[in-house]
Every structure is written in structure tokens, then in C-alpha cells.
Amino acid sequence: MLKTRLLTTTFLLALLLLGRPATIRAENQDQVYDFALHLKQKGELYRAVTEFERFRFRFPADPRSQTALYEIIDSLFQAEQFARAADACETYLDRYPESQKRGEVLLIMVKSYFEMEKYEEGAGELEYFLAAHPDEPLKPEFLRMIGVSYLNSKKWSAAQKVFSELAALENSELSRPAGQAAGKLEKASKISRRSPFFAGLLSAALPGAGQLYSGRPGDAFASLTVNGLFTYLAVVSFQEKKYVVGGLMALMESGWYSGNIYSAVNAAENYNQKQEETFIKRVTDYFTPRFSWKDQENYGCSLVFAF
């Protein structure tokens, strides 16, 4: 009798111990995933990433593991952790190449590259993807980003070709601005430029001349004044046989003179960069929505006082 009761108790305990882990495991899966979502919704992105990674590590076979990786990508991008976001995107695309979210993930990866100013890498990823998936629904947006990447890399001809391809697409709201951008790029060769070599040569001949040539009249005046002053002091010192003072003034003038030439070269390079950036902005502005009074059913004016 005692033996039978002992066996029964042992059997019941075994059932309890064997059944309980499955229950705990199921509860933990939901708890960990739901807690990670809760953190993301609250804006605690770093903690959310940690919880989603813990979920994927502990429950790799769970069907939500793929979604958890997407949430990691989205959280990292929102947290401006662009390098980590790009790496997570590559992992996602390698593991889930047929996912319905592959286009969205690729878009986040390329945006991450753009934020890191790795424009050519982003364009390469998109071109490779479109070659394998020519019917991708996000193709117009991908072409726009490829064109912008070439634009930021100052590859005007390549950008114009991509925008022309985008303009030829039917039923895309990006076709019209792409055509305008392609037309604007025809004028890329007419961007105003200054020669850094010529600017340096001008300032070598006359301090400040290179700065004036590069559109920096204030710097030109300062350079001419400082170099003229130290040259005058050096000459007067030597004429008065104050050789030590004259030598010191001449030494200081040599530094100002060299700096004047370097400043002229730098001014020309900055001028060219500014002109190119302005041109790039004008092209990308075609894709920027503009406010129109015609789009508004009701409009008015307001008066605001700021103190």
C-alpha cells in the first residue's frame, strides 16, 4: 500500500515537473516579445533592441524571430545607429531573401548608407537588387535613391541616366520630378568654378588677389593689409639698420605670405564645393513636395507676436 502510494506520488511529481517548463517557456516567449514591443512604443529604443535580440537568441525557432529582427532594424535606424542598422539589414536579407519586407529592409539599409555618406555603396546595393527583381513595387523609390546617390557623388552623367529611366516609368508620381531633374543635370557642365591653382598663383603675385577671385573680398582685404603691413615694417627696419627687428618682421611676413597662398587655394576649393552643393540641392528640390494654396480647401492668415 505504501509502495503504491509512493509510486503514485512520484508519477504525479514527474508529470508536474515535465509539464511546467513548457508552460513557463510559452509564457516567457510572449512576455519577452511583448515587453520588447512595449519598450519600442515608449521610445526606449536601445532597451527594445536588447530585448528583441534576447528573444531571438532564446527562441530561434519562434515564428516571430523574423519580425523581431525587423523590429531591431527599425529601432536601430530610429536611434540613428546607422552602421548597426545596415549590418542588421544585411543579416535579414541573407536569412530571409524571399521575405515580403525585403524591399523595406533594403530601403532602410540604403538610407543608413546615405546617412553615413556612403552613397556609392547604397547605389550598388539597389542596382544589384533591381537587377534580380526588376518588378519590385518599390522600384521608383529605388531609382530615385540611386540617382540621388550618384548626384551626391557628383557623377552627373550617371545620375542623369537614372533619372531619365525613372521619368520613363508609367503611373509613378516620381516620373515628372525625375524628368525635371534629368533636364537640370544637362547644365552640370556649366556650374561656376574657380581654379585653386590659379587662385594660389594670383595670391602669390599679389596677396589677396586669389581670395578676391574666389569671391572672398573680406579675406582679400585682410590678406593684403596684413602682408602689406609686415612687408612695410620689414623694409623700414632694414633701412634703419635694425636688422634683428627687420629679420623678425621678414620671418613673420613669410608665414603670412605662405598662409595667404594656402588661403587662396582653400577659398577656390570652398567656392567650387559650395557651387556643387547648391546645384545638388536644386536638383533634389524637384522631389520635395511644395505647399500650394490650391491644395487647401480652407486657408487664412494668422498674426504672431514673438517676444
Ranges of residues in the chain with a pLDDT under 70 are: 1-27, 289-307
How high is the pLDDT of residue 299? 43
Report in angstroms the alpha-carbon separations of 151 from 48, 50, 183, 287.
36, 37, 13, 13
Residue from 49, 137, 146, 128 nearest 101 by CA = 137
What pLDDT, on the 0 to 100 scale, is given for residue 5?
A: 56
The pLDDT value recorded for residue 13 is 52
Residue 133, phi-psi category: left (phi > 0), alpha (psi -120 to 50), beta (remainder): beta
pLDDT score, position 221: 93
Nine cell digits for residue 160: 542623369
Quote the CA–CA distance of 147 and 188 in Å, as a whole number.
Answer: 14
Angle at 105 between CA 100 and CA 109, to 5 degrees: 160
Question: In the chain, what are the domains?
Answer: 25-190 (1.25.40.10), 196-272 (no CATH)
pLDDT given at position 77: 94
Q: What is the pLDDT of residues 26-75, one digit of tens each?
A: 457 888 899 999 999 999 999 999 999 999 999 988 989 999 999 999 99
Specify the DSSP class assigned to residue 169.
Answer: -
For the whole prediction, is pTM greater than 0.75? Answer: no
137/178 Cα distance (integer angstroms): 17
